[in-house]
Amino acid sequence: MSSVAATDEAPETAEFPIPAGVFAEKVTAVKHYTDRLFSFRMTRPQSFRFRSGEFVTIGLPNAVKPVFRAYSIASPAWDEELEFFSIKVPGGPLTEHLQKIKPGDTVLMRKKPTGTLVHDALVPGKRLYLFSTGTGIAPFASVIRDPETYEKFDQVILTQTCRENAELNYGRELVETTRNDELMSEFVGDKLLFHASSTREGEPRGERVTKLIESGKLFSDLGIAPLNPETDRAMICGSMAMLREIEGLLQARGFEEGANNKPGTYVVERAFVD
Ligand code: A2P
């Protein structure tokens, strides 16, 4: 007599019904950057609207009750597809499986986008700083590809701090393609600046963006004036420690946090941190 052991883990081939009230979209492209990072694109539901910088929750149809996690939409609001930039967490309930997706696979997405890294949460200014670590660059991949960003600001300064050099490649490619894109180059001109640093690799070793702000090296490297709450606005996305430190630096310089219902001079996304 043979018996099948009951396990919590469903076989990869099992089919589950799509839960009510979620979109089921098809993966169109996947690109792996390192053993910790990958990006993917998928179809966009025709009725789905969002503001550049917002996030959604996504999951996989691999269980009766799929695990959903918050993901920034990395593509801009005008793009006909949706793009995401993800970490691969060993044993992570979603990313363990998500990192294996291929074109044609299904990804689930809840219908309501939300978030604070949006123009509506900032008062008008001249320069926009976008501070990120790791996959925290994802919402800014959306913001820097939105023409509205360049209509509202004279200069856009994107920073990314990662552990390893190869982790900066998504951002490098993004900035390069945005500057050269047929549609976007007209808006971007020479307004978009990018400062990338890797802290655990490279000679000379890069520094955390917090250090670079404190020492002033960020501004001298880019040839721009230091942070000024009169003219500058900022968005922050990264680990909790990084958010806290950048907030401290901004507040010490007179910046005030904004929200959708009360715009300010800087905004933070806390949806992705523990
Ligand atoms: P470091 O290598 O000095 O820890 P993580 O993968 O741990 O989230 O880190 C991603 C990047 O963010 C790393 O380069 C890391 O630097 C940097 N980082 C970590 N904590 C902070 C912080 N409080 N402020 C700025 N950068 C940080």
User: Which tens digits make up the pLDDT trace of 36-94?
Assistant: 999 999 999 999 999 999 999 999 999 999 999 999 999 999 999 999 999 999 999 99
- pLDDT value at residue 272: 77
* Ligand 1 cavity residues, CB under 6 Å: 133-134, 161-163, 199-200, 208-210, 239, 241-242, 245
Q: Is the pLDDT of residue 212 over 90?
A: yes
The atom number, within ligand 1, closest to the CA of 211 reads 25
Instruction: Give 255's pLDDT tier (boundaries 50, 70, 90).
Output: very high
The atom number, within ligand 1, closest to the CA of 197 reads 14
Phi–psi pair at 41, nearest 5 degrees: -120, 150
SS3 call for 147: helix
Residue that is written with structure tokens 């507040």 in the block: 251
CA distance 218 to 201: 19
DSSP annotation of 196 reads E
Question: Are 86 and 72 a contacting pair, CB within 8 Å?
Answer: no
- pLDDT value at residue 15: 76
SS3 call for 19: coil
Q: Is the pLDDT of residue 142 over 50?
A: yes
CA distance 127 to 137: 18
Ligand 1 centre and the CA of 208: distance in Å?
7
From the list 261, 246, 222, the residue with the least C-alpha distance to 130 is: 246
Ligand 1 centre and the CA of 240: distance in Å?
10
- Amino acid identity for residue 259 in this structure: A
Mutate to test the pocket of ligand 1, among 197, 199, 245, 247 (most ligand atoms within 8 A of CB): 199
- pLDDT value at residue 202: 82
- pLDDT value at residue 232: 98
For the chain, give the percent of residues with pLDDT over 70. 94
Both ends of the chain: CA-CA distance in Å? 48
Average pLDDT over residues 192-212: 93
- pLDDT value at residue 205: 84
